[in-house]
Copies of this chain bind each other. A is one copy, B any other.
Amino acid sequence: MVTPSHLEELIAALRCLPGVGPKSAQRMAYHLLQRDRAGALHLARSLDAAASNIQHCSKCNNFSEQEVCALCASAKRDADFLCVVEMPADLLMMEQTQCYRGKYFVLMGRLSPLDGIGAKELHFDRLVKRVQERPCEVILATNFTVEGDATAHYLATLLQSQGIKVSRIARGLPVGGELEQVDSGTLAQAVLERREVIV
């Protein structure tokens, strides 16, 4: 036995992190033990505190330490709009634009039947119930990937059947984008979804 068992166990435990294989886990363990033991102990405490204290907001499904998160509880947010995003990181991106003042619903994923993620796992029932209680326009801001598009399509069908107004964020050339450099799929969509110019 060359490797001490606590070290072996740490290397195995680090593999629970996404994108970390055996070689990276070994490198991380050696780095922590050799150069940053204080960091390792701090990480241990942070993992413990986060796993024990963070739940999902009962309204928007985002991570939260309270039953209802600060954003959902805020009276300053416009309850006439509900933006549906895939992940908390998408919500942060939306907030950084500072152009949206409505509420959110975080799916914590996207429809992916092959991974066993369906309507139930993404809490579509809670989303429908929420919109029925307080009608509003639902803005679908899932990614423009195959799975994100499928999720948006499914949600649009579901919500419109309940008489709810549903919109999708626009697809097209990015700001500063040049026709020569954009992929043909995006350009084709930009032509299809063209808007009348009002002067």
Contact = CB atoms under 8 A, between A and B. Distances in A.
A85 B41 CA distance: 28
Contacts of A171: none
A27 B64 CA distance: 17
Contacts of A9: 46, 49-50
Nearest to A25: B17
Nearest to A57: B4
A31 interface: yes
Interface residues of A, number: 58
A123 interface: no
Q: Is the interface of A mostly helix, strand, loop or mixed?
A: helix
Interface string A178-199: 0000000000000000000000
Contact of A89 (B1, B30, B32, B53): B30
A119 interface: no
B47 A89 contact: no
Contact of A46 (B1, B13, B42, B70): B13
14 contacts: A4-B65, A6-B46, A6-B53, A9-B46, A16-B36, A16-B40, A16-B43, A17-B28, A18-B27, A19-B24, A19-B27, A33-B50, A33-B63, A40-B50
